[in-house]
């Protein structure tokens, strides 16, 4: 742990997602006076609670070794703090499409070996015969948003972080109130940066449609088909799955 900071040094963290909350209590643990500002009614109510809830471990990036290693290391650091937020174990699968895949079976296995990831060849009966070259069972996990939020609150309270929910404060006003500001916003990033006198960052936004399908007869299925314009399936609550298709889900 870093040595305590000089007394009286304060930091304002803008954005109460998992990154903002983590930054807040880490800074507070280092001895700074930290206030976390979140515009919604509760922390972890934005992107953290509006996604597939999969904690990537590196399998997803066979053509990007640095990102895969970052995901692997990020998974390990996440698990050190939040392992109690993981859902009940679900078998996770990655499959290599039979045709038009940008990654071959051999390349994927070599990738897993380089990153230190387990990938065991298996058969998945839900797949149409002949649609994939090989299917692998792998080690990944999903988190429960409610449990994750509970643990995050515990960390914030333990570190004595002041939390301001439903905050309508302008970023420039937050900056005036603190010695330093950490911007951990996501979708509203470029609304906040100009208010702080910073240049906006060029971002690519996508309009996506992700159907949630009621599947009472389907066991909890976690599947990603690599590598290219293919589909992924993830458990989503009771008797439901979320479907994402790289071609059909992205509308703009």
Query: How confident is the model at residue 3, as a pLDDT?
Result: 46
Query: How confident is the model at residue 136, as a pLDDT?
Result: 98
Two structure tokens written together for 178: 């603190």
pLDDT at 1 over 50: no
15: left (phi over 0), alpha (psi -120 to 50) or beta: left
Q: How would residue 237 be classed by pLDDT, with cut points 50, 70 and 90?
A: confident
Considering only residues 12 and 126, tell me which one the structure prediction assigns the higher pLDDT.
12
Query: How confident is the model at residue 217, as a pLDDT?
Result: 84
- Tens digits of per-residue pLDDT, 23-67? 999 999 999 999 999 999 999 999 888 888 999 999 999 999 999
DSSP β-ladder status, 33-37 and 132-138: unpaired
- Tens digits of per-residue pLDDT, 179-232? 999 999 988 899 999 999 999 999 888 899 999 999 988 888 999 999 999 999
Query: How confident is the model at residue 170, as a pLDDT?
Result: 95
Average model confidence (pLDDT) for the chain?
93
- Tens digits of per-residue pLDDT, 81-99? 999 999 988 899 999 999 9
The rounded percent of the chain whose pLDDT value lies above 70 is 97
pLDDT at 145 over 60: yes
Query: How confident is the model at residue 203, as a pLDDT?
Result: 87
Query: How confident is the model at residue 6, as a pLDDT?
Result: 52
Query: How confident is the model at residue 8, as a pLDDT?
Result: 80
- Tens digits of per-residue pLDDT, 150-166? 999 999 999 999 999 99
Report the alpha-carbon angle 248-249-252, nearest 5.
95
Spatial distance between the Cα atoms of 104 and 31, rounded to a whole number of angstroms: 50
Spatial distance between the Cα atoms of 61 and 78, rounded to a whole number of angstroms: 19
DSSP β-ladder status, 33-37 and 10-14: parallel
Spatial distance between the Cα atoms of 59 and 50, rounded to a whole number of angstroms: 22
Query: How confident is the model at residue 2, as a pLDDT?
Result: 45
Spatial distance between the Cα atoms of 35 and 11, rounded to a whole number of angstroms: 6
H-type alpha helices, the chain = 18-29, 65-82, 105-115, 145-158, 171-177, 189-192
Q: Who contacts 251 (Cβ-Cβ below 8 Å, separation ≥6)? A: 207, 208, 209
pLDDT at 5 over 70: no
Residue in the block written with tokens 């100009």: 194
What domains can you pick out in the chain, each with its CATH number? 1-53+144-203 (3.50.50.60), 90-140+206-252 (no CATH)
Query: How confident is the model at residue 7, as a pLDDT?
Result: 57
Spatial distance between the Cα atoms of 237 and 122, rounded to a whole number of angstroms: 25
Query: How confident is the model at residue 225, as a pLDDT?
Result: 96
């Amino acid at each position: 742990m870093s040595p305590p900071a000089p007394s009286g040094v304060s930091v304002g963290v803008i954005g109460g997602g998992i990154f903002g909350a983590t930054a807040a209590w880490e800074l507070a643990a280092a001895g700074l006076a930290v206030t976390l500002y979140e515009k919604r009614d509760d922390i972890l109510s934005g992107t953290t609670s509006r996604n597939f809830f999969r904690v990537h471990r590196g399998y997803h990036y066979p053509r990007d070794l640095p990102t895969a290693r970052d995901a692997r290391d990020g998974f390990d650091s996440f698990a050190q703090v939040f392992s109690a937020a993981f859902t009940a174990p679900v078998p996770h699968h990655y499959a290599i499409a039979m045709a038009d895949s940008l990654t071959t079976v051999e390349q994927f296995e070599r990738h897993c070996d380089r990153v230190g990831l387990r990938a065991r060849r298996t058969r998945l009966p839900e797949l149409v015969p002949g649609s994939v070259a090989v299917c692998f069972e792998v080690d990944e996990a999903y988190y429960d948003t409610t449990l994750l939020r509970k643990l995050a609150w515990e960390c914030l309270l333990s570190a004595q972080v002041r939390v301001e929910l439903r905050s309508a404060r302008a970023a420039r006003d937050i900056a005036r109130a603190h010695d330093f500001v950490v911007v951990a916003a996501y979708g509203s990033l470029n609304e906040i940066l100009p208010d702080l006198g910073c240049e906006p960052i060029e971002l690519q936004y996508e309009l996506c449609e992700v159907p949630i399908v009621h599947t009472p007869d389907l066991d909890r299925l976690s599947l990603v088909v690599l590598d290219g314009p293919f589909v992924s399936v993830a458990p989503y609550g009771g008797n439901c799955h979320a479907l994402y298709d790289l071609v059909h889900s992205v509308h703009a």
